[in-house]
Amino acid sequence: MSVETTTASEVMTRTLVTVEPEESPLMAWELMWRAGVHHLPVVDACCRLVGVLGREDVAAHWSGGPAEQSQAVVRTLVQGRRCPRVAPDAPLSEVAALMVDADCGAVPVLGPDDVLRGLVTTTDVLMALAGRTARPAGDPADVKGGLFHLEPVPPVTCP
């Protein structure tokens, strides 16, 4: 595979952990930590992309403690921010240029139906440049949005 002819669909991460817009930054941070990822696509109930939340976004917003973070919503962290998107057949050079111009570490890949197909991260771009892309193009249906379901544990009160 030549870097000049490589497309977004050939390098994108397909198995994604997603977060809903009304979820808390505290939960988003926990999801990132547990999944070992740096970016979470924020998708609404209809699976439409709202934005991409990065670890830096959560860290920059962090003030107060966990109680304050559990009251906020991630929608406010991605609202009004530029979130470039690409088609699966976008050349890798175009994806990299968008990442540089928008100063972002991940670009969502959307199909013609505006459904999230994957995410191209800086790591994906670097692996492609290093000739280490081993991701098969596969079926677009192999994108799996994963969401860890975490239940808060209420504080124990002693009688």
112 in a structural domain: yes
149 lies in some domain: no
Residue at 12 is within a domain: yes
pLDDT score recorded for residue 101: 93
Q: Tell me the per-residue pLDDT of 81-128, one tens digit each, with 9 for 90 and over.
A: 778 999 999 999 999 999 999 989 999 999 888 888 999 999 999 999
pLDDT tens, residue by residue, 121-138: 999 999 998 887 655 444
- Residue 12 CA to chain centroid, in angstroms? 11
Q: How many domains is the chain partitioned into structurally?
A: 1
Residue 157 lies in a domain: no
Residue 149 has pLDDT above 50, yes or no: no
- pLDDT digit string (tens) for 21-47? 999 888 888 888 888 899 999 988 877
Better-scored residue on pLDDT, 65 or 87? 87
Asked if residue 95 belongs to a domain, the reply is yes
Angle made by CA atoms 97, 143, 102, in degrees to the nearest 5: 20
The verdict on residue 140 lying in a domain is: no
Residue 4, SS3 per DSSP = helix
For the chain, percent of residues with pLDDT exceeding 90:
33
CATH number assigned to the domain comprising residue 32: 3.10.580.10
Range of 27's domain? 3-130
Structure tokens of 13?
A: 């991460």
Residue 92 lies in a domain: yes
Q: Which pLDDT belongs to residue 145?
A: 47
